[in-house]
A and B are shown apart, each in its own frame.
Chain A
Amino acid sequence: DAMVIQNPRYQVTQFGKPVTLSCSQTLNHNVMYWYQQKSSQAPKLLFHYYDKDFNNEADTPDNFQSRRPNTSFCFLDIRSPGLGDAAMYLCATSREVLSNEKLFFGSGTQLSVL
């Protein structure tokens, strides 16, 4: 049974048109992460939530925002997508932020920008 669920599986948007990607989890984990992964590259952490506390990575563009209305759901908002934002977006969770914690990944949302 899927524990970290990302919707939709594929998303197509237009240049400059806001888009929201969704992630939900059934693990009741404290931490939720969003990564951007471009083709043949390592996942790049954009930000994470520890409970309601938002933690942005220093090099994450302002164009990327996130919301976590409750423990189970976390959203990635791209305010004005550019062609360079086309990528796979991965959501992950962990029970705590400790370095030995296991990360649980969703299957990702593949974003195309036309």
Chain B
Amino acid sequence: GENVEQHPSTLSVQEGDSAVIKCTYSDSASNYFPWYKQELGKRPQLIIDIRSNVGEKKDQRIAVTLNKTAKHFSLHITETQPEDSAVYFCAASPLGSGGYNKLIFGAGTRLAVHP
């Protein structure tokens, strides 16, 4: 089945710097790759996603890139702010018997942005 690996597990940056989180996946049939942000004690919330027919997507300070050949995708956060501090999860949606019906998550990256 699908396996998603995420690096680094922790990331510490100064406010204003950029942060990059990388994920690799194993199932070449996976076609949807969301990123979720989870603040302490709260539920995961979608921040950006990308589909397999697109190589890059940007939303203000957040961007995601996808390399289907290499089976990896990355989250880029520019001009980081203290409120960006959270755990970030990548995920991939593999093709199952019933279609694309579940997400396989990476282990998460704990991002700390220091003022």
Co-assembled chains A and B: no
Please report A residues at the B interface, Cβ cutoff 8 Å: none
Please report B residues at the A interface, Cβ cutoff 8 Å: none
